Amino acid sequence: MKNTMIKRFIACFILCITTMLCGCAPEKEHTQSFFAMNTYMSVTAYGDNAQPAVQQVQSTVTQLDSLWSVTDENSELYALNSNGSGTVSSETAELIRFCLNISEKTNGAFEPTIYPVLTSWGFTTDENRVPSDEEISNQLEKVGCENVLLFDKNSDNGSEVTLSNGAMLDFGGIAKGAAADKAAEIMRENGVTSALINLGGSITVIGKNSDNSNWRIGVKDPFSDGNIGILEISDTSAVTSGAYERCFTASDGTVYGHIIDPASGRPVDNDLASVTIISENATLCDALSTALFVMGKEKALQFADANSKAMGFDYILITKDKEMFISGGAAANFTLTDKNGIQSIIV
């Protein structure tokens, strides 16, 4: 009797140790870095399917880039902009529909037809220049979502798009977010439950990290090279917009950023230094970070107050005079690490 109990105890002990060892076995990790959509991207996944999932993400993002690049002469978007009409893939039609919807909701602050103005400032060729007022107003005449018509044919035949009045589309303010949503979909289809998708600063995390804790994501300090703080998140996305990302200095010393105010046709120069949007929907994060940056502090706060619950997003607005407006949902997961003059206001 005593022997049996000892044997059972030993068996139980061995089982516990085996379970503990299996539980601690490191998960397979796979990381891939690549260049697409004009930026460096890095994707890491954990688990048995990490490698095929990451590879599929890279090929899908590269494929989306070849559809949506505004400068690649072989892209679907380039053909559409050059011809003024055409049949587009379901991915492109879905993105155009999203753009038109967000443009309407943001009262034109998000403006997917800003491309002619962007070209005048040289942001598409990196040969930057300051256009004349006359050139800007001529280009602005082509801008506006009323110039974009999207007809859905049946699902096999794609969708028909017509651009009137010289309008041209540019997905620069939304493509990385849309690609991140596709990447997250691929991860989930592959059964990946832990992944970090960084598409040039558009961050999407799947599940928790390999330590089973929330992912710790640095939020860029718009005034210096470091981070302003850390967001601890799981199963969500965070995207930041700021003029510092791409800008040029004119001969008179004025710095011009790549986000254009569609009301003036000039690079945004308001009281905001950066906008971070946090949401389960990366496409929404990307579009709204651009749009709220265009709006400026007062309008952005009003928009967020009216829409953040219904649209499902949190936000961090940093003003040029170093105030940080953070929504309650974001504040619960955010630690301010750079207290250097930043005053945090929970909204």
Q: Which does 258 bind (CB under 5 to 8 A by kind): Mg ion, ligand AMP, none?
A: ligand AMP
Q: Point out the residue whose Cβ comes nearest to ligand AMP.
A: 172
Residue 294 is encoded by which pair of tokens?
A: 């265009």
Q: Helices in the chain by DSSP H: which ranges?
A: 2-24, 50-68, 76-83, 90-105, 115-120, 133-140, 175-189, 282-295, 297-311, 328-331
Q: Does 170 bind Mg ion (CB under 5 A)?
A: no
Interacting span for ligand AMP (CB under 6 A) from 50-58, 153-161, 206-214, 256-264: 256-264
- Judged by CB under 6 A, the chain residues 97 through 126 that form the site for ligand AMP are 110-112, 114, 118, 123
CA distance 215 to 219: 12
Torsions phi, psi for 22 (to 5 deg):
-60, -45
Residue with tokens 């007809």: 151
Residue 123 or residue 313: which is nearer to ligand AMP going by CB? 123
Count, residues near ligand AMP per rule CB under 6 A = 19
- Judged by CB under 6 A, the chain residues 278 through 297 that form the site for ligand AMP are 286, 289-290, 294
Q: Which class for 304: exposed (0-12), middle (13-18), buried (19 or more C-beta within 10 A)? A: buried
Interacting span for ligand AMP (CB under 6 A) from 83-91, 166-174, 180-188, 316-324: 166-174
Residue 268 is encoded by which pair of tokens?
A: 């945004």
Residue 45 or residue 288: which is nearer to Mg ion going by CB? 288
- Judged by CB under 5 A, the chain residues 278 through 307 that form the site for Mg ion are 286, 289-290
Q: Which of 69, 204, 241, 319 touches ligand AMP (CB under 6 A)?
A: 241
Cβ contacts of 22 within 8 Å, gap of 6 or more: none
Count of residues for the chain? 347
Q: Which of 47, 86, 112, 173 touches Mg ion (CB under 5 A)?
A: 173
* Residue ranges that bind Mg ion, judged by CB under 5 A: 173, 286, 289-290
